[in-house]
Amino acid sequence: DSGVTQTPKHLITATGQRVTLRCSPRSGDLSVYWYQQSLDQGLQFLIQYYNGEERAKGNILERFSAQQFPDLHSELNLSSLELGDSALYFCASSVEGGGYEQYFGPGTRLTVT
């Protein structure tokens, strides 16, 4: 158990819909990262937040957005969902945004039908 929690574990929704994925970092970690992993694909970095502020952006679509709240939990919002958005979405946290180890959550499996 990494100490990072993600909800929900599974999510099934239809195309065109909007969903919100939630992540609670490890106690004391200020930085949160979001990743997408499609079937049999590598991890794709989406976005990073540090202490409430956006720190780095990866391959995140305009239909996707995220935020980190004052209590440091983070939410990833996915809108106008397409079949290709079906994937595992992982959240990771670290103490700071630099070279510190990232601890990954168990992931949320999103299925778009």
Partner 1 sequence: KNQVEQSPQSLIILEGKNCTLQCNYTVSPFSNLRWYKQDTGRGPVSLTIMTFSENTKSNGRYTATLDADTKQSSLHITASQLSDSASYICVVRRAAGNKLTFGGGTRVLVKP
Distances (CA, A) of 43 to 15, 17, 113: 23, 24, 22
The closest of 13, 7, 70, 77 to 46, measured between CA atoms, is: 77
> Could you tell me the smallest distance in angstroms from the CB atom of residue 74 to partner 1?
15
CB of 15 to partner 1, least distance (A): 23
d(CA 10, CA 25): 19
Query: Smaller CB distance to partner 1: residue 64 or 103?
Result: 103
Asked if 53 touches partner 1 (CB under 8 A), the answer is no
Q: Write out the residues near partner 1 by the rule CB under 8 A.
A: 2, 4, 41-45, 56, 88, 90, 92, 97-99, 101-107, 109
